[in-house]
């Protein structure tokens, strides 16, 4: 791994935090579903000479000189993104998933227009119009929910009724804490009925779509996908917008990203995206994505066998959302804390129609992209799920925590964080 020699000699305080984080990641098991490990090649690109370069504009149309290599690199990233997602157009400049969503809204709507998206409490994302966000002051957001929180079935009839009533400009499919596959055909049919754009926010399952393990919304006629490039895609932290086939939409997206929402793109970040895209195009990536889902299903089996309530009744993707308060008499915050004590990192999370507060909710959200990157398979996923439940049931037992912490550390030693993927 990187020894950070220059930082070590120049800035000891920051060096200590870098080494500390590297050790934490090596010695603990990461189950936050929005996190993953990147290859050393991706990390090299993030720390590369491209961090020096200002490149406002797009390849061939920059506002500064000296763009020979930035243009070549960004074109490579765009071409690889298009190939991954069966898209005619791609914008690789958004700095993150939230930035991608906001640019998409401004590209396709005027202030006051309506978006119909998933309610945060039922698995949606803050950028889908939560009242606390700034974007909620610009556009009108209405929200659909699940019909049955124990199966995950979306209430498509109510979604259609809301679309007819509110006439949204965008119908948004996507989530951050929802574990089932969406019926893209129904979304498309409803959108066509009311004349709305179809947009899929696939931030969490980007890698599962790129690999063909989960459905690609473009195969069902969707117009646009927004996404992050980390999480299941296993790239650097960043965002991206891809357009299925419309040159008109792509032109609006490009204008909304630059100069609409941001200035000079982070070229080192785009270089790292390009490296990760090449890794995702390798045949081995599909096997990795398949294993992500297998591992999540293995954890589901354990939680069900132990009568822990799972929102949506289980998972079709990389994540699970468990109601541990009603099942194990522990809050989401308590569970997050006690699991971190033994080296397992996940996040507290609200469940559908949450009776508690967002900072101390009933649920925990966990997923398998990072543990799968380490090479763990169903056997390890099963044991991890057993350890999680045992810890939560014995949260005040110091001896039990010490015993299981040792087992987690041994598992980490047996499955080290890899430096390369292909």
Catalytic residue list: 54, 56, 201, 228, 231, 237
Q: Structure tokens of 10? A: 């120049």
Q: Structure tokens of 208? A: 């599962």
Which candidate, 346, 416, 333, 350, places its Cα nearest to that of 384? 346
On whether the CB atoms of residues 364 and 324 are closer than 8 A, the answer is yes
What is d(CA 122, CA 118) in angstroms, rounded to the nearest whole number?
7
Q: Is 195 exposed, middle or buried (0-12, 13-18, 19+ CB in 10 A)?
A: exposed
Q: What is the DSSP string of 168-222?
A: -SEEEEE-SS--S---HHHHHHHHHHHT-EEEEE-TTTHHHHHTTSS--GGGGT-
Q: Give the CA distances from residue 398 to residues 340, 389, 391, 395, in Å, rounded to whole numbers and listed in that order.
A: 14, 15, 10, 8
259: cis peptide before it, omega within 30°? yes
What is d(CA 163, CA 221) in angstroms, rounded to the nearest whole number?
18
Q: Which residues contact 399 (CB under 8 A, 6 or more apart)?
A: none
Q: Which residues contact 13 (CB under 8 A, 6 or more apart)?
A: none
On whether the CB atoms of residues 114 and 169 are closer than 8 A, the answer is yes
What is d(CA 346, CA 397) in angstroms, rounded to the nearest whole number?
20
Which candidate, 276, 202, 185, places its Cα nearest to that of 34? 202
Q: Which residues contact 27 (CB under 8 A, 6 or more apart)?
A: 343, 409, 412
Q: Give the CA distances from residue 387 to residues 176, 226, 246, 343, 396, in Å, rounded to whole numbers and listed in that order.
A: 25, 35, 49, 11, 15
Residue 421: what are its φ and ψ, rounded to 5°? -115, -25
């Amino acid at each position: 791994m990187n020894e950070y020699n220059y930082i070590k000699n120049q800035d000891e305080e920051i060096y200590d935090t870098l080494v500390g984080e590297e050790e934490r990641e090596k010695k603990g098991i990461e189950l936050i579903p929005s996190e993953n490990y990147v290859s050393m090649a991706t990390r090299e690109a993030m720390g590369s000479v491209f961090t020096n370069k200002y490149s406002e504009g797009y390849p061939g149309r920059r506002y500064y000189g000296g763009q020979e290599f930035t243009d070549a690199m960004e074109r490579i990233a765009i071409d690889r993104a298009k190939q991954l997602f069966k898209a005619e157009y791609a914008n690789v400049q958004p700095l993150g998933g939230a930035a991608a969503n906001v640019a998409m809204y401004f590209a396709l709507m005027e202030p006051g227009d309506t978006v119909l998206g998933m309610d945060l409490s039922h698995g949606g994302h803050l950028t889908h119009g939560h009242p606390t966000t700034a974007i909620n002051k610009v556009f009108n957001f209405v929200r659909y929910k699940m019909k049955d929180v124990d199966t995950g079935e979306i209430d498509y009839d109510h979604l259609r009724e809301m679309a007819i009533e509110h006439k949204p400009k965008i119908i948004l499919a996507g989530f951050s804490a929802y574990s089932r596959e969406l019926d893209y055909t129904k979304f498309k049919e409803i959108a066509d009925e009311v004349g709305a754009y179809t947009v899929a926010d696939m931030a969490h399952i980007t890698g599962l779509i790129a690999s063909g393990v989960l459905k690609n919304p473009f195969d069902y006629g969707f117009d646009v996908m927004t996404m992050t490039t980390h999480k299941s895609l296993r790239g650097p932290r960043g965002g991206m917008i891809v357009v299925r086939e419309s040159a008109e939409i792509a032109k609006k997206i490009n204008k909304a990203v630059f100069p609409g929402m941001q200035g000079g793109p982070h070229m080192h970040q785009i270089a790292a995206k390009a490296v990760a895209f090449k890794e995702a195009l390798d045949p081995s990536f599909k096997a990795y994505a398949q294993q992500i889902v297998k591992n999540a299903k293995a954890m589901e089996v354990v939680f069900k066998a132990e009568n822990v309530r799972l929102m949506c009744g289980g998972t079709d993707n990389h994540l699970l959302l468990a109601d541990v308060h009603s099942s194990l008499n522990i809050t989401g915050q308590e569970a997050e804390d006690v699991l971190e004590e033994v080296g397992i990192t996940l996040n507290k999370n609200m469940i559908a129609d949450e009776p508690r507060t967002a900072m101390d909710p009933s649920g925990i959200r966990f997923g398998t992209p990072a543990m799968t990157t380490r090479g763990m398979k169903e056997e390890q996923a099963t044991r991890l799920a057993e350890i999680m439940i045992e810890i939560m049931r014995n949260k005040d037992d110091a001896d039990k925590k010490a015993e299981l912490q040792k087992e987690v550390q041994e598992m980490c030693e047996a499955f080290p964080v890899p430096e390369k993927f292909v």
